[in-house]
Amino acid sequence: MFYAGCDVGSLTAEAVIMEDGRLRSWAILPVGARTEDSAYSVMRQALKEAGLTMEGLASVCATGYGRKNIPFAQFNVSEISCHGMGAHWCDPSIRAVIDVGGQDCKAICLDSQGRAVDFVMNDKCAAGTGRSLEILARAINLGLEDLGPVSLKSRHPVRITNRCSIFMELEVLQHYYGGRKIRDIALGINHAVAKRVAFLAQGLDMTPGFALTGGVSKNAGVAKSLEKALGVRFRPLKVDPQLMGALGAAVHAGVKAGVKDS
164-210: per-residue pLDDT in tens?
Answer: 778 889 999 999 999 999 999 999 999 998 988 998 898 899 999 99
* Signed CA dihedral, 108, 14, 18, 238: sign only: negative
Q: How far apart are CA 50 and CA 119, in angstroms?
A: 34
- For the chain, what is the mean pLDDT? 92
Return the amino acid letter for 38. Answer: S
Q: What is the mean pLDDT of residues 24-28?
A: 98
Cα–Cα distance for residue pair 101/213, rounded to 1 Å? 8
Largest CA distance in the chain: 61
Q: Which residues pair with 99 in a beta bridge?
A: 106, 213
| 45 burial via Cβ count (<10 Å: 0-12, 13-18, 19+) | middle
Q: Give pLDDT tens digits for 49-65.
A: 999 999 999 999 999 98
For residue 213, give Cα distances in angstroms to 106, 166, 222, 226: 10, 25, 12, 12
Q: Where are the alpha helices (DSSP H) in 140-181?
A: 144-151, 165-177
Say if residues 62 and 75 touch (Cβ distance below 8 Å).
yes
Residue 93's nearest CA partner among 210, 205, 201 is: 210
Q: Does residue 68 carry a pLDDT above 80?
A: yes
d(CA 128, CA 225): 12
pLDDT digits (tens, 9 = 90+) for 201-248: 988 999 999 999 998 888 999 999 999 999 999 999 999 999 999 999
The residue among 201, 11, 209 whose CA lies nearest residue 102 is 11
Q: What is the CA radius of gyration of the chain?
A: 19
pLDDT category at 125 given cuts 50, 70, 90 is: low
